[in-house]
Amino acid sequence: MRHAVKTLVGELRRTGQSMASLTLSLGGEYFYSLMLLATRDLLSGLPLVTSLIPVMASVRGGVYSSIGSRVSTLLHLGYELGGLGGDFARRLHRSVYLVLLLLGVYVALLTGLLHPDISLPQAIYAALASLSLAHLAMFPLVLLMARVVFSRGLNPDNIMAPLITLLGDLWTVPTLLLVVLVLARWGWVPAILLMAVLLSLNLAAAAIGLSKKGGPRVERQVVGQLGASMLVAIAMEVLAGLLLSLGFHRLASHPGLLASLPIMMQAGGAIASISGSRISTFLHLGSYPPRLLPTPMLVVEYARGLVLAAYSYALAALVGWAGSRTMGLQVTLTGLLPQVLAIGMAVALAAPLAAHVVGVLVFRRGWDPDNISIPLLTSLVDLLVIALAVGMD
């Protein structure tokens, strides 16, 4: 009995950590909305930026959340990872940067294919320069956050993913605007010089010596597994965008639901990422059986998911209602709340099961769930949320 009570108290404490992280993340999305509003006139004349914003935010959220999950697992396993200038950090920096460069070209090619009026060389430059600029800040921040959270006795798996996703969103618009404005106002020569400087700074930060010590080897796993999972995740995000564009006229008839959509996607992705990160760590620690049949720990993940979804989607409905009323639209909270909560409950039922299946299958194949799970889960949840919102009567 005492053990059961102790376990329950521990889970409640960890759920509280996730709720606090979600609150900060969803509150930060408000400032992201203000950023979009403040730059709307400028953005309206820059289709290259607006076409890249959603998928670039997805790339940053997926990549850096995976890195946060991986670092959390290694800390739980007792690895001494060293500082930001250590061998492990430099190897990881180089591997992640290579993945980002490959994904930048992939995103630019997709953008050029879907938007024939956008120049492919400009799309490649904007994607690579924006990712390179953000990487100089995002990578050390993710490592520092994980180490600080873990050193204070908190579990990074419960906290990191929502905050990393928020940081990725907040970096997307400023970095894209900066690099595109350099090209638009001064031409290709300054733009190429800027790209060369950013490339040099990232290569300098990733420079490594001859030592093989200082942490686990990460390069092949990160480049191969994370890169492959992000290619699939980006394809799902493109499919989600296509679904949204096809059903936008239906969603526009529900302005409160439309206003709540970005926060619903953010909350759903955060819930899925938390489950994916926790299950990955437990699999590495040997405390989560790698079998597809439901486990008692999966039941715990479902309970956590329901609590987090009820809380975060109620906040999403409140923000959507307030935003709609600010715009003078006749939206009632009593009408919007059940719709948003219904989508939240669907996410709460789907996300832990998806995290369980993906994590177990990947682990049984000998791959690292930290490199694969989170990008796939967040994109899958985005697709689910958009499909449910578009189909809502």
Q: What is the CA radius of gyration of the chain?
A: 21
Q: pLDDT grade, residue 345 (50/70/90)?
A: very high
Burial label for 118, CB within 10 Å (0-12, 13-18, 19+), is middle
> Quick one: what percent of the chain has pLDDT higher than 70?
87
Burial label for 349, CB within 10 Å (0-12, 13-18, 19+), is middle
Nearest to 255 by CA among 326, 310, 314, 309: 326
Please report, for the chain, the start and end positions of each structural domain, with discontinuous segments joined by +: 18-391
Neighbour-count burial for 242-278, b at 16+ CB within 10 Å, e otherwise: ebbeebeeebeebbbbbbbbbbbbbbbbbbbbbbbbb
More confident residue, 316 or 9: 316
Arithmetic mean of pLDDT, 359-388: 87
Separation CA 325–CA 270 (nearest Å) = 27
- Backbone phi, then psi, for 216, in 5-degree steps? -70, 150
328: helix, coil or strand? coil
More confident residue, 328 or 71: 71
Arithmetic mean of pLDDT, 317-322: 82
Q: pLDDT grade, residue 258 (50/70/90)?
A: confident
Separation CA 295–CA 288 (nearest Å) = 8
Separation CA 320–CA 125 (nearest Å) = 35
Nearest to 91 by CA among 197, 214, 224, 200: 214
Separation CA 182–CA 133 (nearest Å) = 13
Range from 6-10, 247-251, 299-303 carrying the lowest mean pLDDT: 6-10
Half-sphere CA count of 295, side-chain side, radius 13 A: 17
Separation CA 163–CA 179 (nearest Å) = 25
Range from 34-38, 46-50, 78-82, 216-220 carrying the lowest mean pLDDT: 216-220
Q: Identify the sign of the CA torsion 335, 339, 341, 342.
A: positive
Separation CA 209–CA 44 (nearest Å) = 46
Arithmetic mean of pLDDT, 62-74: 83
Nearest to 280 by CA among 376, 146, 374, 148: 374
DSSP class of 216:
-
Arithmetic mean of pLDDT, 315-337: 81
Q: pLDDT grade, residue 371 (50/70/90)?
A: confident
Per-chain mean pLDDT for the chain? 81
Half-sphere CA count of 329, side-chain side, radius 13 A: 18
User: What ranges make up the beta strands (E) of 146-274?
Assistant: none
pLDDT digits (tens, 9 = 90+) for 106-155: 988 888 887 778 888 998 999 999 999 999 989 988 888 888 888 888 77
- In this predicted structure, the answer to whether residue 160 has a pLDDT above a threshold of 70 is yes
Q: pLDDT grade, residue 219 (50/70/90)?
A: low
Nearest to 237 by CA among 143, 114, 123, 339: 114
